[in-house]
Structure formats: structure tokens, C-alpha cells
Amino acid sequence: MSRTTATVATSLPDQWEELVTTALLGTDRRTPPGVAPGPQAPSALLDAAAAATVRRRAGLRPARPAGRLRPAPEDPRPPLPPAAARRLAALLADRPGASGGGRRGAAPDLMELLPQWLQAANTRGYAAPPQALPALLDAARGRTDLRPAALRFAGPRALWLARLNPDWRFALRAAAPGGGPSAPDLRDPQGIRRLWQEGLFAERVTLLTALRSRDAAAARALLEETWATERAEDRLMFLDSLRAGLGPDDETFLERALADRSRNVRATAAELLSALPASALAARMAVRAAACVAVDRTQDVPTVVVEAPHECDAAMERDGVVAKAPAGRGERSWWLGQLVEAAPLGTWPGRLGGRTPEEIVALPVADGWQGELHGAWCRAAVRQRDAEWSRALLGEPSAPEAGGPGAVSLAERARLLATLDTGERAAWVAGFIETHGLSEAFQLLGVCAVPWAPPLGRAVVDALNIARDAGSYPWSFSGVMGLAERCLDPSEASRLDALLAIPDEPEDAAPGAGSYWSEAFQRLVTTLRLRGAMLAELAPEEPAP
């Protein structure tokens, strides 16, 4: 390099910074070097900047060429039918309105139908159209609830794209148990061990969860190998993966975890052991809980009496009982609830006079302990997936206490319903709505299988119609109406046509309620027909004769 060239190259950064500073300040306050102030200064500044730009570019050394991108992997799944591909593009193009409020109108909310469309497409095993992948990843980026289904549908090409765009890196971190795009190859034992030893935390969680669904013992053995060296927060997440396929063979490992140095790990291990009614921890809890609950037969009506624990000793703490009660809770009631919750439900018929769960729940409870005792039995029934106890605690849906304050809250009833099969669950909620209406049914509807069974769908529509005819405030039912749009069977659409007219408004009705109800039912019918069309488009095409 000559001395002149070196001098020019050295001065270029300084000259460029001077030009940038002049442009920021304006030529009326500062002029480029060697240029007189005046109307020609702006043009002179631009000329100097253009010349400096050419010199800067001429002085750059060519960069090393990047390697050619590998082609995206093939997706072996069958392609979407053309009509379904067009429908997907329309769903992805729809975006929520910027206003965020006000009346929704009669048009369906397409983004709320996207999760259902993805579920149906994944059930049928279709591959995503390549041109839809960017919009699909953008949608999953904005809505975490969409990610598992969206990434499963997007397939291996989603990961290929995610490595090229930082906005889509979430796809590389997402766990996808059950065969999603980031699921490990479980047919490669050496790859499994290498990934477990060297992988990122999210990759290891994905591996453990996927392996657990296929071979519970192998997943547990993998975890045991490195358990002592894992961080506490990682141990907690890994332990949580044992919920899938939990069985008696896990007891020995979980018993050792009861001595873990992390309180959260100990609590999770105790919870898992209490879900195994035959475990040693469950037996210990049964002894403790049974000592606190008995039947007093000296009264005219047999009554359950409760004597809550007076202390929480070290053995109870080791078995997962949290000693310190939350604010506003008494210590003794707090300890009692934990003992009863963790005790096997099979403890109580023998302890309480050979009674069935239904008979036990019907017994009066002395001294105001009913809420605490029944609440703990609810948590035990959910944890142990005991349908018989769930039915007893739920009671009849037409009972007066089912629709209002009682020993078992609506939130607890919703969790109990989840332990029943889908048909029984829908029938109970339908009976509840027929007796108590929709005002308290939202939580219960959320645990019912989609599409709703015909009796449940009819109960919801009839209750909405009754509310409309009564002149009820329409906006208070918008949540249930939104659920109905997503959950009613599409075949119900034709039955709703009679509800589309604007009804006569009673004198005490909310202003404009009639037109709102008509608009809402119009949207419901339109959405149901759209859902029916979506499912029909995803049906495999018949081969030409």
C-alpha cells in the first residue's frame, strides 16, 4: 500500500464522522470542510458524502463467501387438499381488530378458529404448505397457546426456517412431546444418551417427556443417572415429567427424592407418591389422616368429627406437608387439609363405618369443618382420578347447593368433572344448566369435550334463548356465546335459524338488547357453518373413478 493510499484510508473514518455530524446539525449551523456557508452548502454536503461513500466501499475487503444453505428437509406427510390450504391462508391472514372492544358484529372470529383447524389437520396427518410457514410461525410467535399444534403441523421445515430468522427462535426451544418437530429420534440409543448428556435444557426436557411416553422405565433410568448433578430448578422440571405414565415402579426413586435439598422438589415427589394409593407415603398419610377424622355415633344422626393435628413434625414435613400456613389460614386446618388430600380415598369407607363415598359425603360434619374436609377430598379425588368419589362430591346437578355457595365450590366441581368420561361430564353440566342457568356454568363448560355432546349443546342454546326472551343483559353472556361458537357441534346450525330474528324487547330489557342477541346468534350460526365447512375441506379427497 502506498503512503498516499494509507493516508486516505486512515482519514476516511474521521472525514465520514465529520460529514455525519454536519448532516445532523444542519448546514445552516455547520458546513463541510472547505465549503463556504450559503445556499450551496447542502449540495456540497451531499456531494462530499457521495464521494466518501465510494471511497469507503472501495476500501472494503471482499468478505469470505458464506456456505450455501442446505435445502429444507422433506416433509413426508400428505399435502393439504387445495380447499383446506386456501382456508388456512384465510385464517392466518385474519388479525384481531386494533380497537380491542365494542361489538364484534356478525362476522366469525377466524383467529379463534385457527386452534381447532390445526387440531383437525394434525389429527389427519397433513403437512403444512411451504408458502404458509412464515405466517404460521408468526401466529405461533404471538400466541403461545398455538405453539404446540402449530409447530407439529409446520413440521421439520419450521426448524429450518427458525434458524434463519431470530423472531422464530422460539421454535428451536419449544418442547414437542408426542412427535412434534423438535422431538428426538427415540430409535437412536446413542443419540438419546448424547442429547441427554450434552443437550440444552429444553432439549433434555423434550427428550425425557417423549421417552417417558414410550418407555417409562428407560426415562426414569436416564434421569437417575444424572439426578445428583442437576440444578434444583432442573430437577423440579424433570421430576414433573414423571406424571405421564406414573406407576408403582416409580416409587423407589420418588421416595429418595423426598430427601432432596430443594423444598419444591420434595413437595412434587410427595404429590406424585400420594397419587399412588399403594405407596408407602400414601399409607403413612392414611394413618395420620384417619387419626384426625372419625364418626360420632352417640348423636341422633351420625356425624363426622374432626380433630386437626396439633403440630407438624419432621416426618410430616419429609412427606411433603408444608408447615407454614398461607396468610389468613389457620395452621391446624392447613395441616389437616394436606393430610386428607394425600391419603388414599380407600381409607375412608373402612374408617367411617363401611359407608360408600356417597354416604360419607352426605354425613354432617361437626364444628364447621365441612368445607375443609370436603375440599381436601375433592383434591384427593382429582389427584387419584377417582370417578366414584368425584360423583359423590359433585352430587346431583339439580341440587340447590350445586349452583351456589356450598362445601364444594364451582371451581372444585370443574376439576372433579375432569375425572369423569366425556359423556357423563356433558350430561352433568347439561343438567346443571337446565336447573341453574348459564350464569355460573362458564367454568364447567370449559372442561367439556369439543364438540359438545347433543344434550349439552341443546341445554346451552335453550338457556341462551331463555335469557334473550327474558330481556337479560346480553353482554353478560358473551363469554358463553364465544364458547358456543367454538364448541357446539356444527350440525346444530340448522336448528338455530329460528333465533336469528330480532325479538320484541320487554319494557325492562337493556336498550338495544334485541338487536345484540340477533347479531350474536347470527355470528354463532355463521361460525358453526364455517366450522362444518372447515372439517369437510380437511376430509381426504375421494379418488377419481
- For the ranges 59-68, 307-316, 449-458, the lowest mean pLDDT is seen at 59-68
Mean pLDDT along residues 215-239: 93
Share of the chain above pLDDT 90, in %: 59
Q: Where does residue 472 rank: exposed (0-12), middle (13-18), buried (19+ CB within 10 A)?
A: buried
Q: Residue 452: pLDDT above 90?
A: yes
pLDDT of residue 503: 61
For residue range 402-443, list pLDDT tens digits in order.
665 566 888 899 999 999 999 999 999 999 999 998 988 999
Cα–Cα distance, 153 to 79 (Å, whole number): 11
Q: Residue 179: pLDDT above 80?
A: no
Half-sphere exposure of 488 (CA within 13 A, CB side): 29
Cα–Cα distance, 340 to 483 (Å, whole number): 35
- For the ranges 31-35, 146-150, 175-179, the lowest mean pLDDT is seen at 175-179
User: What is the sign of the dihedral through the CA atoms of 426, 428, 429 and 431?
Assistant: positive
pLDDT of residue 98: 37
- 96 confidence band (pLDDT: 50, 70, 90): low
Q: Residue 519: pLDDT above 70?
A: yes
Mean pLDDT along residues 181-199: 77
- 183 confidence band (pLDDT: 50, 70, 90): low
Considering 62-76, 223-237, 530-544, the range whose residues carry the highest mean pLDDT is: 223-237
pLDDT of residue 3: 40
- C-beta neighbour count of 323 within 10 angstroms: 14
- 309 confidence band (pLDDT: 50, 70, 90): very high
pLDDT of residue 544: 52
- For the ranges 70-74, 122-126, 320-324, the lowest mean pLDDT is seen at 70-74
Considering 44-53, 65-74, 201-210, 258-267, the range whose residues carry the highest mean pLDDT is: 258-267
For residue range 341-380, list pLDDT tens digits in order.
999 999 999 999 999 999 999 999 999 999 999 999 999 9
- C-beta neighbour count of 258 within 10 angstroms: 17
- 7 confidence band (pLDDT: 50, 70, 90): very low
Half-sphere exposure of 383 (CA within 13 A, CB side): 23
Report which of 483, 494, 418 is spatially closest to residue 456, judged by C-alpha positions.
Answer: 483
- 8 confidence band (pLDDT: 50, 70, 90): very low
- 178 confidence band (pLDDT: 50, 70, 90): very low
Mean pLDDT along residues 278-294: 97
Q: Residue 445: pLDDT above 60?
A: yes
- As a whole number, the mean pLDDT across the chain is 87
In the numeric block, the cell 410461525 is attached to: 137
**Residue 200: all three cell numbers together:** 440444552
pLDDT of residue 219: 93
pLDDT of residue 284: 97
Q: Residue 176: pLDDT above 70?
A: no
pLDDT of residue 316: 96
Q: Residue 1: pLDDT above 50?
A: no
For residue range 101-134, list pLDDT tens digits in order.
445 567 888 888 999 999 999 999 999 999 999 9
DSSP 172-218: HH---TTT-TT---TT-HHHHHHHHHHS-HHHHHHHHHHHHHH-HHH
pLDDT of residue 508: 59
In the numeric block, the cell 381447532 is attached to: 116
For Cα atoms 342, 343, 349, give the angle at the middle one, nearest 5 degrees: 150
Q: Which helix (H) or strand (E) element contains residue 163?
A: none
* 3-state class (DSSP) for residue 92: helix
DSSP 327-358: TT--HHHHHHHHHHHHS-TTHHHHHTTT--HH
For residue range 15-41, list pLDDT tens digits in order.
788 888 888 888 888 887 777 788 888
In the chain, the N- to C-terminal Cα span, in Å, equals: 78
pLDDT of residue 14: 64
Q: Residue 543: pLDDT above 60?
A: no
Q: Residue 337: pLDDT above 50?
A: yes
